[in-house]
C-alpha cells in the first residue's frame, strides 16, 4: 500500500447537511478514492455526495496547543445571549 496515498473521506449523508468525516482509505488516485469510498462507506445509502482529500494536504492544529489556541474564547461570556438580562415580559428573544 506504500505507493497508494492515504485519503480522508467526507460524505454528505443527505441534501441539506454538510459533508462529514467518515474515515480514511488508500487509493491510487482521486477517482479510485471516490469509488473505494463508495464501496467502503456507502453500501447502505449513507451518502449522496463524497469528497476525498489527500491526508497529506490536511493541516491540523496541535492538540498540545489546544489550551492557548482556544483560550481567547473562554472568557468572553458577553458573546452569548444569556449574558444580557431582560425582563420576563419581553418573552422569547
Partner 1 sequence: MIEKLEQQFQAKIDAEVKIEPKDWMPEKYRKTLIRQISQHAHSEVVGMLPEGNWITRAPSLRRKIALVAKVQDEAGHGLYLYSAAETLGAERDDLLDQLHTGKAKYSSIFNYPATTWADMGAIGWLVDGAAIMNQVMLTRASYGPYARAMVRICKEESFHQRQGYEILLTLCRGTEIQKQMAQDSLNRWWWPSLMMFGPNDAESTHSAQSMAWKIKRKSNDELRQAFVDATVPQAKILGITIPDPDLKWNEERGHYDFGEIDWAEFWNVVKGNGPCNRQRIEDRKKAYEKGAWVRDAAVAYAEKREQRKAASKAKVA
The residue among 48, 44, 5 whose CA lies nearest residue 27 is 5
Nearer Cβ to partner 1 (20/49):
20
Nearer Cβ to partner 1 (45/82):
45
Nearer Cβ to partner 1 (29/56):
29
Which of 19, 26, 38, 54 forms a contact with partner 1 (CB under 8 A)? Answer: 26
CA atoms of 87 and 89, how far apart (whole Å): 6
Residue 76 makes contact with partner 1 by CB under 8 A: no
Task: Give contact residues for partner 1 (rule: CB under 8 A).
Answer: 1-4, 6, 23-29, 32, 39-40, 43-44, 60, 62-64
Amino acid at each position: 500500500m506504500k505507493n497508494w496515498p492515504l485519503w480522508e473521506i467526507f460524505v454528505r449523508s443527505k441534501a441539506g447537511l454538510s459533508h462529514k468525516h467518515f474515515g480514511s482509505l488508500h487509493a491510487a488516485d482521486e477517482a479510485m478514492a471516490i469509488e473505494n469510498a463508495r464501496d467502503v462507506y456507502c453500501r447502505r445509502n449513507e451518502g449522496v455526495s463524497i469528497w476525498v482529500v489527500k491526508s497529506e494536504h490536511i493541516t491540523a492544529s496541535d492538540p498540545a496547543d489546544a489550551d492557548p489556541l482556544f483560550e481567547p474564547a473562554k472568557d468572553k461570556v458577553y458573546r452569548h445571549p444569556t449574558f444580557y438580562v431582560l425582563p420576563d415580559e419581553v418573552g422569547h428573544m
